[in-house]
Structure 1
C-alpha cells in the first residue's frame, strides 16, 4: 500500500450506511462485455500448460490523449470452458507485480487477468497516459472523470470486459479479488458490474473513505458539494448496495489505511450473501487460519480466497460457515457475557472471542482474547471484564476450520460489536482501576515497530534484557518501538505516571513518548527525555508532568484523554538499552 500523504481521520458509525451512490452515468460505456481494443502485444507464449499474453489496451481517451493500460492475461492451454478471475492490485502495485498470482489462478483452472490501475499504481508500471495523482490528473478539474482514481476504476472495468469477452470463459462464473486498494476496487467493480460478477473477495480494502480511512482528511479538504459528488460517484461504499455477488471481506483491527468504521459502513450496505473475518492486532496482515500465512495459498494472498472462488465458481468444496453475534449481553458480577452463534456444514474446530476499548484510537487498540465455552446449538460465549463502566467496549467472535485431511482451512467472524456497560446495569461508581503492567513474559503482540516507518535498529525480547523473569525488551540502534492499547481517560483517574527498570550499557540517551490521535487521524506526541540512564539496572519514575508536548501551541486533545493510544520508545544510533517491568504508578 503506497503511503499517499494525506492527513488521517476516522468517523466510526454503527448506524446503517448511507446507501446512495447510484451515479453510474460516467461508467456506462464500460459496463458491457465488449473487449477493449488491444493496441500492442508485448509477449505471448505457453509455459507449464498456461497460455500467457502480456498486452496493452486502450482504456479511454482523455483530452485527446490515449490512456493505454498494460495487463496480463493467462488461461489454461488445454481447450475447455473455464471460470474467470479478475485481479485488482493494491496501492503501489502493478500487473507485473501480480504476475505470479495471474499464473497461479490459470494453473488452478481459471482464465485470469490483471491490469495496471492509474492513481494507485507503482511508478514502475508499464501503462501510459496523462500525469496522475490521487486527487486529480490532467483534464477539467471540475470533472469527476479528471480524478486519477477514475482512470483506475475504468482500467479495472476494462479488465473485467477483457475477462468476460474471452471465448473460453463461462460468463456466469466470474470472480474478482484484490488487497488494500484492490479491496476498494473489488468493492467498486462488484457494485458497478452487478450480476456480471458471481464471487468477490476483498482483503482489507473497502469504501466509505469519509467514515474512517487514510484518505478521509483529503476528502475533508474539498468543499461540501465537490466532496458529495466524489463520494456519490467514486466511493466504493456507496456502490455496495448494488453488489449481487457472494462477497467476503477481511478486516485487520489495526489496519493503517482502512479503519473499522469504513469496513462496517461498507459491509452494512451490502445486501447480497456476505461474510467477514476480523484479524486482531495486525495491519495489512491476516494471521488467522486460511489467511496470509497459510501453507496452501500458493501465490495468492490467502488460501481463503482460493476456496471461496473454487466453491462459488466451480462448485468444489463446501460453503464457509458464518458467525452471528447474539444481541443479548448479560452482566455477571464485574464482567459481561457475550455470545455468538456459528453456523456451518462442519463444526468449528476453534473459536475465539476478542475485546478492546471502544473509545480509544482504532489503529492503536490492543485486542485481548478471553476463554470461550461451548453452549448448545452452535452457541459460544465468553466473559469480558469491565473496569471503566462509563466507557464502551468493542468485541467480536470468531470461528476457524483448521487445515486437516479435508483440505479446508478458513476463518469467519461476527462483525464488530459494541457494549455500553451503563446500559446493562453498571453504574459510574463501580469503575475499577486497570493498571498497565508489562513484564514481557506473555504474549507480546501489542509491541511493534510503527507501521510504514523505517529504521535501521532492531529489537529483541530475551533473557539478556530481563531485570526479572525470563525476558525483557532490548532496543539496539536507531528506532521507534511502540506499545498499543493505552487507556488515557482511565489513567487520568488513578495513575500519576510510569515506572520501569532500565539498563543502559550503550551509554546513550533515549526518549519515552506518548501518542494521542484525533478522530481525523492527526497525531500528537508528548516526550519525556531520559538523559544518560545508568549502565546498571535502575528504576525510573516518569510522572505525567515530565512529558512535554512536541507540537506548536496548545494541543487540541489532552494527553490523558480517550485519544491516547501508544507508548513509544525512541532510541538513537549506537544505543543498547534494556527495559523491563513497566507499570503505571497509582496515586
Structure 2
C-alpha cells in the first residue's frame, strides 16, 4: 500500500499546513459559518496529523481534536486505501456506542475500492486505552450530563461531530484522495452523528446513517435520561444536539437504514427524521434487523449506494411514498436493475416498537408499481419494499397509524 507524502517510523509526525491556497486546492473553499456550536471556518481546515506504521493494510494515526477541559486533544484513527496511487473515493466511518476505530471496517471499504478512515470517539487510543490527551468518553453520563451555553463545547456530541468533520478535512488534504468523492457513514450513535454531520458539513457527497436518528427526546431508549432533565436542560440538549435540528440542512443524497424493532431508535422517530430531509433520500427498513457494528456495516446496499454516487455504478431502486385507495396500497418503482421481489410488511400491534410483531407477505409487481392489499383495517404500521436482481432492498417510508 502506498501512502503519498508520509514519514516513516512509529508515529512519524507530519504537520499539514493550513493555508488559504491549500483550502482552495482541495475544495474546502465553501462558505464557512457557525452551525449549532460548530465553527466550520476552523473545522474545514486540515488538522495536524501524526502517521504511524502500517499493519495488515491499515495505518494508525493521530490528528488534532478540539480543546477539552482547557487542554489540547488528539483523536486516534485508522486508515486504509486500495492498491495504487489514486485518486480514490473515500468514506468516513463513524462508530457507535462501545465502538472504536475499527481496522476491519476501513479494510472492508478498501476492498471495495475506497480509502477510508475510522476514528475513536471515546478519548481512547490503540487497544482502547484511555489517552492522556483524549477528549470526553462516550458514556451516557457524558452524553446527557447537564451543561450551559458556556460549556457546550465540553460535551461529547460537540467533540464527536468535530472529530468526524476534521477527519473529512484531513482526507480532503491528501493527494491520493478525490475530494469531490467523499461520503460518511455511521452506525447507531455513529448514525446519530452522521445525521448531524450531514447537516453541518456541506462538503460530503453522500451520507449513510444506520440505526441512528433524531427525535431522541420524543421516543428512544434514552427517554429516562430526558425525564430526569429540567425543561430548560432538555430544551438546550435538543437545540444543540438532537439531529432533528440539522437534518433539514442536508443537501447530499442520504440513505437511512434501520430495523422494525430496533431497541434504541424506534420507527416513529426514524420516520420523522427521514421526513425532515428536503432532498434526495432513500430508506431501507428490514424486519427485525439485528443491531451491532458488523450487522450495521454488512448490508450490500451500503456499498451499492456509495458506488452509484462515487464510482458511477448502477443506482439502487427508487420507491415513491405510499399511495392508498381503500385497502389497496402502491408505490411507483424506478429501477435500472430488474426488480425480482416485492413485499408488504405490516404489524397490527400497538405499544413499544421494540415489542411489535411484524408479518411480511408478497406484493405484486405491475409495470412500474408495487401493489398490495392490506389484510386488515387494524394495521398499526406498514410499508412496501422491493428487491432487485443484486439482492438490494429498498423500502417506502413506513406508514405509521398508531
TM-score, length-normalised on structure 2?
0.82
- Find the residue that maps to 1:72 and give its secondary structure: strand
Identify the residue that residue 21 of structure 2 maps to in structure 1: none
In the alignment, is residue 312 of structure 1 matched against residue 323 of structure 2?
A: no
Indicate if the aligned counterparts of 1:91 and 1:121 stay in contact, CA closer than 8 A. Answer: no
In the alignment, is residue 58 of structure 1 matched against residue 58 of structure 2?
A: no
Q: d(CA) in 2 for partners of 1:119 and 1:70?
A: 8
Identify the residue that residue 188 of structure 2 maps to in structure 1: 180
In the alignment, is residue 223 of structure 1 matched against residue 264 of structure 2?
A: no
Identify the residue that residue 99 of structure 1 maps to in structure 2: 103
Q: d(CA) in 2 for partners of 1:285 and 1:87?
A: 14
Identify the residue that residue 88 of structure 1 maps to in structure 2: 94
In the alignment, is residue 413 of structure 1 matched against residue 395 of structure 2?
A: yes
**Correspondence 1:171-210 to 2 at 5 A:** 171-194=179-202, 196-210=203-217
- Find the residue that maps to 1:328 and give its secondary structure: strand
Pairwise CA distance, 1:27: 0.9
- Find the residue that maps to 1:63 and give its secondary structure: coil
Identify the residue that residue 327 of structure 1 maps to in structure 2: 323
In the alignment, is residue 37 of structure 1 matched against residue 48 of structure 2?
A: yes
Deviates more, 1:117-126 or 1:305-314: 117-126
Q: d(CA) in 1 for partners of 2:401 and 2:135?
A: 49
Max radius of gyration: which structure? 1
Identify the residue that residue 329 of structure 2 maps to in structure 1: 338
Indicate if the aligned counterparts of 2:115 and 2:177 stay in contact, CA closer than 8 A. Answer: yes
Indicate if the aligned counterparts of 1:144 and 1:230 stay in contact, CA closer than 8 A. Answer: no
In the alignment, is residue 129 of structure 1 matched against residue 134 of structure 2?
A: yes
Q: d(CA) in 1 for partners of 2:86 and 2:209?
A: 28
Q: d(CA) in 1 for partners of 2:362 and 2:88?
A: 45
**Correspondence 1:570-585 to 2 at 5 A:** none
Structure 2 CA distance for partners of 1:168 and 1:280, relative to 1, 3 Å:
same
Identify the residue that residue 561 of structure 1 maps to in structure 2: none
Q: d(CA) in 2 for partners of 1:155 and 1:320?
A: 30
Q: d(CA) in 2 for partners of 1:351 and 1:120?
A: 45
Pairwise CA distance, 1:163: 1.4
Indicate if the aligned counterparts of 1:120 and 1:149 stay in contact, CA closer than 8 A. Answer: no
In the alignment, is residue 365 of structure 1 matched against residue 356 of structure 2?
A: yes
The structure where strand makes up a greater share of residues is 1
**Correspondence 1:142-161 to 2 at 5 A:** 142=148, 143-161=151-169
Pairwise CA distance, 1:220: 3.1
Q: d(CA) in 2 for partners of 1:140 and 1:418?
A: 34
> Which digits, 9 at most, give the CA deviation of each residue in 1:86-127, with x for residues without a partner?
0001110000xx211212322333221110113899993554
Indicate if the aligned counterparts of 1:324 and 1:341 stay in contact, CA closer than 8 A. Answer: yes
Indicate if the aligned counterparts of 1:241 and 1:271 stay in contact, CA closer than 8 A. Answer: yes
Structure 2 CA distance for partners of 1:178 and 1:122, relative to 1, 3 Å:
farther
- Find the residue that maps to 2:38 and give its secondary structure: helix
The structure where helix makes up a greater share of residues is 2
In the alignment, is residue 347 of structure 1 matched against residue 353 of structure 2?
A: no
**Correspondence 1:530-545 to 2 at 5 A:** none
Indicate if the aligned counterparts of 1:255 and 1:284 stay in contact, CA closer than 8 A. Answer: yes
Structure 2 CA distance for partners of 1:209 and 1:342, relative to 1, 3 Å:
same
Q: d(CA) in 2 for partners of 1:94 and 1:239?
A: 25
Structure 1 residue runs of 5 or longer lacking an equivalent are 1-21, 294-299, 331-335, 403-407, 421-587
Identify the residue that residue 3 of structure 2 maps to in structure 1: none
In the alignment, is residue 248 of structure 1 matched against residue 255 of structure 2?
A: yes
Structure 2 residue runs of 5 or longer lacking an equivalent are 1-32
Identify the residue that residue 271 of structure 2 maps to in structure 1: 264
Indicate if the aligned counterparts of 2:75 and 2:123 stay in contact, CA closer than 8 A. Answer: no
Q: d(CA) in 2 for partners of 1:380 and 1:67?
A: 55
Q: d(CA) in 2 for partners of 1:254 and 1:121?
A: 33
Pairwise CA distance, 1:237: 2.4
Pairwise CA distance, 1:23: 7.0
Identify the residue that residue 398 of structure 1 maps to in structure 2: 385
Q: Moved runs in structure 1, 4+ residues, more than 6 A?
A: 119-123
- Find the residue that maps to 2:382 and give its secondary structure: strand
Structure 2 CA distance for partners of 1:281 and 1:73, relative to 1, 3 Å:
closer
**Correspondence 1:439-450 to 2 at 5 A:** none
> Which digits, 9 at most, give the CA deviation of each residue in 1:398-443, with x for residues without a partner?
10014xxxxx3310011111458xxxxxxxxxxxxxxxxxxxxxxx
**Correspondence 1:455-466 to 2 at 5 A:** none
- Find the residue that maps to 2:375 and give its secondary structure: strand
Structure 2 CA distance for partners of 1:31 and 1:249, relative to 1, 3 Å:
farther
In the alignment, is residue 118 of structure 1 matched against residue 122 of structure 2?
A: yes
Structure 2 CA distance for partners of 1:239 and 1:358, relative to 1, 3 Å:
farther
Indicate if the aligned counterparts of 1:56 and 1:68 stay in contact, CA closer than 8 A. Answer: yes
Indicate if the aligned counterparts of 1:372 and 1:381 stay in contact, CA closer than 8 A. Answer: yes
Pairwise CA distance, 1:30: 6.3
Q: d(CA) in 2 for partners of 1:158 and 1:240?
A: 20
Structure 2 CA distance for partners of 1:152 and 1:217, relative to 1, 3 Å:
same
> Which digits, 9 at most, give the CA deviation of each residue in 1:31-78, with x for residues without a partner?
64422222x44x32375xx5x431122202223222221111222352
Count of paired positions: 365
Structure 2 CA distance for partners of 1:254 and 1:285, relative to 1, 3 Å:
farther
